[in-house]
């Protein structure tokens, strides 16, 4: 089936640093989503991207839908302790609206 390769798998940063992570696939997607998961909770939607090339922000978070429709990027600026968690990319393939595909996740740890 379709797969999303998310990198890096983990990040250890200092508070205040910027963070970048990305997701790539060999297949195209119509929609890219970025989720955050806190310990013991389900994923919560951060940003949704609907068109190739789209750049969308949500506070300190910025995400982009790659022009090839096969990748997406998430940036977090000026990280704070509450940014700790696991970040997942997810994609909705063409003709597969019910089959959201998830990346493996990026675990973000922040040293105060």
Partner 1 sequence: NAGVTQTPKFRVLKTGQSMTLLCAQDMNHEYMYWYRQDPGMGLRLIHYSVGEGTTAKGEVPDGYNVSRLKKQNFLLGLESAAPSQTSVYFCASRQQGTSPSYTFGSGTRLTVV
Single out the segment in contact with partner 1 by CB under 8 A; choices: 14-22, 40-48, 52-60, 76-84: 40-48
What the block records as the tokens of 47 is 């940003």
Mark residue 78 as left, alpha or beta (left: phi above 0; alpha: psi -120 to 50; beta: remaining).
left
Question: Strands 61-65, 55-58: parallel, antiparallel or unpaired by DSSP?
Answer: antiparallel
Which residue among 65, 69, 74, 88 contacts partner 1 (CB under 8 A)?
Answer: 88
Q: How many CB atoms lie within 10 A of CB 29?
A: 27
Which residue among 25, 31, 64, 72 contacts partner 1 (CB under 8 A)?
Answer: 31
> Which chain residues interact with partner 1 by CB under 8 A?
1, 4, 6, 9, 31, 33, 40-45, 48, 88, 90, 92, 97-100, 102-105
């Amino acid at each position: 089936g379709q797969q999303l390769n998310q990198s890096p798998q983990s990040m250890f940063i200092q508070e205040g640093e910027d963070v970048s992570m990305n997701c790539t696939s060999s297949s195209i997607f119509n929609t890219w989503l970025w989720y955050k998961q806190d310990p013991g909770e389900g994923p919560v939607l951060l940003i949704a991207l609907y068109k190739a090339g789209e750049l969308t922000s949500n506070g300190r978070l910025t995400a982009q839908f790659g022009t090839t429709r096969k990748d997406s990027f998430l940036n977090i600026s000026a990280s704070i302790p509450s940014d700790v968690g696991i970040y997942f990319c997810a994609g909705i393939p063409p003709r597969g609206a019910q089959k959201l595909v998830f990346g493996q996740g990026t675990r973000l740890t922040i040293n105060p």
